[in-house]
């Protein structure tokens, strides 16, 4: 590490930039601090451009170039001779989580189809198609109970030692657990 002031400033600058990239909490604090400063100094930008005419001119030229590139990109996207929309938006089935996101954004956040398409990086026509079809309800298959694998007794003799079921067959302490007690007691009735 160099102890010169310019080197130390460079080191602090690099640390600050890397910390902003890596730590979202730090980046949020910096952003709020800058916003607060801009709010307390509203005329700073106007005074800066007046005090630095070369920088203002350079920024103006750069902005013209940025605007030109944006216009050309827009022209290319909307020109059917140059831009093949079908090549960009290939017929690809969306995954179930993407379809659920489309319905969630449309219903809970009241998003427009265009905004949803932009947010999920899909074509607007796909969003429209999936919004017109109802949400698929998940298939609910009955699951076998774990107690179904236990042997049932027709006579009153226990099939297993009673000590292994002593906790299972006790009266439940929670009233909400009575339904599970009924299931368990039907399997354990031979142990009573």
| pLDDT attached to residue 186 | 46
Q: Would 172 be classed as within a structural domain?
A: no
Low-confidence ranges of the chain (pLDDT < 70): 1, 76-92, 135-139, 147-192
Number of domains in the chain: 3
Structure tokens at 18: 């890397």
Number of Cβ atoms within 10 Å of the Cβ of 105: 20
CA distance 21 to 31: 12
Q: Would 15 be classed as within a structural domain?
A: yes
| pLDDT attached to residue 107 | 81
| pLDDT attached to residue 55 | 94
| pLDDT attached to residue 52 | 95
Gyration radius (Cα) of the chain, Å: 34
Terminal Cα distance for the chain, rounded: 80
Q: Which domain holds residue 117?
A: 87-132
**Cβ atoms 89, 123 nearer than 8 A:** yes
Q: Would 176 be classed as within a structural domain?
A: no
Q: Which residue has the tokens 């009233």?
A: 175
């Amino acid at each position: 590490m160099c102890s010169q002031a310019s080197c130390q400033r460079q080191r602090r600058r690099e640390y600050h930039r890397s910390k902003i990239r890596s730590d979202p909490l730090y980046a949020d604090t910096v952003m709020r601090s800058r916003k607060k400063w801009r709010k307390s100094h509203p005329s700073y930008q106007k005074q800066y451009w007046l005090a630095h005419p070369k920088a203002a001119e350079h920024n103006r030229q750069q902005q013209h170039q940025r605007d030109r590139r944006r216009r050309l990109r827009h022209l290319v996207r909307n020109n059917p001779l140059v831009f093949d929309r079908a090549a960009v938006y290939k017929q690809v089935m969306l995954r179930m989580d993407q379809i659920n996101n489309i319905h969630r954004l449309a219903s809970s956040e009241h998003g427009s189809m265009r905004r949803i398409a932009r947010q999920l990086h899909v074509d607007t026509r796909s969003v429209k198609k999936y919004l017109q079809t109802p949400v698929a309800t998940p298939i609910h298959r009955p699951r076998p109970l774990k107690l179904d694998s236990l042997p049932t007794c027709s006579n009153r003799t226990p099939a297993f030692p009673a000590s292994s079921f002593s906790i299972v067959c006790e009266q439940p302490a929670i009233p909400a657990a009575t339904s599970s007690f009924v299931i368990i007691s039907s399997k354990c009735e031979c142990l009573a």
